[in-house]
Chains A and B, each alone.
Chain A
C-alpha cells in the first residue's frame, strides 16, 4: 500500500467514527432523544471515506438524505453533527436542518438534501462556478441508485457533459430505493451504464473496499482537474440498517443482509492492515476505543447543549441587504 501508516489509520478511524456515530444515532432514536427521521450510512463507510480521501480540502461535495457519512468524511465534527441531529443550537445548522440538511459550506460540504436527486444540478452549478472562477476545484456529487431514475439526474449529467465540468458523479448503489429493489425499478442494474447516454466515462468499484473506491475516484478527479469533464463512478454497496427507523426490511432477506455484513468495509480494511503488517490488532482496538470515546463525547455535548432560542425562529430566512437595495420596513 502506498499510503503512509498515518493516512491508513486515519481512514480506518473515519470509517469507525461513521459506524459508531450511526449506531449511536440508532440508539438515541430508539430512546427518542433524537426526534424526526435519520437515514443511516452504516455499511457504506468505504464510499464516503474513500471518495473524500481522493480530493483536496478546498474541493466541494454535495450530499444526500443519507448524508452523515459524507459530512464526517469531508472533515465534519462529531459533536456539531450530533447536536444538529438533536436539534440543538450548537449544531452545524443551529438545529434548523437536522439529519437531512447538514451542510458545512465553509468546509466545502455544500449540504445534504431531503429531496432525492435534487443536489445533482447543484453540484453541476458548483462545478461551473469552479471552472469559471478558474480555481481548479472539483465537485464530488454523491447520490444513490434511486436518484439515477429521477429526471434531474439526466438533465444534470447532460449539462455537465456538454460543458465538460469538473464534477464526479458518485453513485452509491445500495440496491434499494427505500423498499424497492433496483432490479424492480431500474431498467439497468449497473447504474454506470447510464453514462453512455451522455458520452462520459464510467467506472464501477467495490463500495465495500475503501482503497478501491479511493483509486477509482482519484482517476475521475484527475480527469476532472485536467479539464476533461465529468465521470460517473458507481460504488456497489449496502446499507446495514433499514431505510429509516420505521423500516421492518421485509423486502430483503436475512441471508442477503448476512452476506453483505460479511463484506463489512471496516472489517475488511482492518484485516488488510493487519495482513500487511501496517497495524496490529491492539492498535486497531486502540483506534476503535478512540472512536467510541469521541462518539460518546459528541453525545454528551449534544445532550447538554441548549435548544435554539425560539426568538430566533424567523432569523436567516433572508440574507441582509444594504439599505440602497432594500426597504427594510417592507413585508417579507
Chain B
C-alpha cells in the first residue's frame, strides 16, 4: 500500500467513524447483548442468570406464544398476497391512458402518507359496529355488518382489510416498473392476437416480477413485525384474537420485564424472517425474470 493509499484509507475510516461508532454502540452491541440475554433469566433489575436454552424450551410450551405466532401468520398469509394483488391491479389500471390519470394516481397514494396513529383512530371509527361507516355502507346493501373489532372472529379480518389502506407505496413502485416494460412486446403480442389477459400474464407480470419479488420480501419483513396498528386499535384483544408476535414480545420485555424471554422471541423472529426470505430468494430464481440475464 502506497503512502497515498494509506492516507486515503485513514481519511476514509476517520470520516465514517461517527457512523461506525453509532453502529457499534446502538446496533451491534444491543444485537449481541440480546443474543446473550436470550440464554439468561433476566428480569432487568437483577443480574442476568445463564439458563442455557431454558427460554427457548419455555417458549415451545407457551400457548400464548403459539397463539401469537398463529395470529401473525394468519395476518401475513392474507394481508401480504392480497396487498400485492391489489397494488399490482391498481398499478395496471393506473397505466391506462385516461383523462386525469395523474389525479387518480395521487388519490391512491395519498392515504399511505397518513401517520399510523391517525390512521388507527380513523379505522376505529370506520369499524365501529354501531356507528361505523363500513357497516352503514353494508346496511345499504342489505348486509348486517359484524362488530368488527369487538368480535373475536372479525377483529383479524378487520386488520387485514385495514392493511390495504397503505398499498399506495407499492402502487407507486409498480407504476414505475410498468413504465419500463418495452412497448414493442405488447405490439408484437397484439399482432399475434393476444388478449388483455394474455398480455398481462405473459408480458407484464414476468417483466415486473423483480419488483414483485422486492415487495414480497419487504412485505414478509413488514407483516411479521406488525405492531403499531393492532397495539393502538385492539391492544391484542378481544381474547388475544389480535395478539401479534411483536406485541407479545413487547409485553414480555417491557410489561412483564422478562427480557431474556423477550430476547429469545426476537431471535426466533429473526430466524423465521431469515428462513422465509431465503425460501423466497430460492423460489425467485425460477420465477423471476431479470432482463439483464
Q: Do A and B bind each other?
A: no
Q: Which residues of A contact B (CB under 8 A)?
A: none
